[in-house]
Amino acid sequence: MLRRRNIARTEVLLDTAAEVAADPSAPALDPGRFRDDLTGSGSRDAFRADLLGVKERAISRFPTLVIRRVGGPGLVLTGYRPFDALLDAMSRAAPDVRPIQSEFGPVEYVRHWGRALDREVAAACRIEVESARQALDRAVDAGMLGLDASVPGGYRS
């Protein structure tokens, strides 16, 4: 989406899968299996089940996220929500479940995922975007990370 590609189009998803599969720094991906999973009957059946759930819950706006524990009541969030609102909803749905505090810093986060945006790193590490950007830029200067020039604010391991 950051590259202004229409991910609602199958050919865009298949092209993206091929790009990821060809990138040695990205996690392993089998583009043939991705194609089969995306276009096969299993995905159609799962999509139909999702549409049935949308109808049963009378959901009329998108995106809509239903957060619930198995067998428990659910919370419905509609529209864009910042990360902290999602965490709050999850803690209300399952008050006894707490997020695992990661020991990852900005550099470790990018190394773990292979690529990330400065805004993403800031949210994941719970720091200001400018602090994340400074830490990542220092890592680039030190040769620990690279810039992902394909997207503004992008870094790669």
Please count the other Cβ atoms lying within 10 Å of the Cβ belonging to residue 47. Answer: 10
Q: Is residue 47 part of a domain?
A: no
If asked whether residues 34 and 60 sit together in one domain, one would say no
Query: Residue-wise pLDDT tens for the chain (157 aa)?
Result: 567 889 889 999 999 999 888 888 777 889 999 999 999 999 889 989 989 988 988 888 888 888 888 887 778 898 888 878 888 888 888 888 776 666 789 999 999 888 999 999 998 888 999 999 999 999 999 999 999 988 889 999 9
Q: Is residue 46 part of a domain?
A: no
Location of structure tokens 């220092």: 138
Q: Is residue 48 part of a domain?
A: no
Query: The domain containing residue 67 runs over which residues?
Result: 53-93
Q: Is residue 89 part of a domain?
A: yes
Rounded to whole angstroms, the Cα distance separating 144 from 107 reads: 8
Q: What is the helix, strand, coil percentage profile of the chain, to 5?
A: 50, 10, 40
